[in-house]
Amino acid sequence: MGGFKNIEFDGFQLSFFVDANFEFKVIAKVLSELFFTFESPFFFFSKRAVNNEKVFQFLSDSVASSSLITSLLTGYVAYKEVEDDILWIRKSESESFECITKQLEQS
């Protein structure tokens, strides 16, 4: 799948990286499918290069909360909790929601 890299699935956890220049509509469609397919999807987004091992370590840790992840890593997390059709988004203090709203307006 062009634009998607390092796709790994172990039967429980799916991880991949997306090229930042990849078309937003395609990314949104894939994330939408994953959101409704998996019981507890948790997405991490960063505009900066990150240490992949550090990200996977935090995301694999069962006690890692969205607030802990966004306090230790710069970026955004999107996740589903008990409500099936609500997407929760949390960001690091240094980030804004402006980039998300711009993309939604252009869609």
Q: Which amino acid is at 60?
A: S
CA distance 56 to 8: 12
pLDDT tens track for 32-84: 888 888 887 888 877 766 666 666 676 666 667 788 878 877 888 888 887 77
Q: Which amino acid is at 27?
A: I
Burial profile 22-36: b = 16 or more Cβ within 10 angstroms, e = fewer? eeeeebeebbeeebe
The pTM for the full model equals 0.65
CA distance 36 to 81: 12
Strand partners, 52: none
pLDDT tens track for 90-100: 888 888 777 66
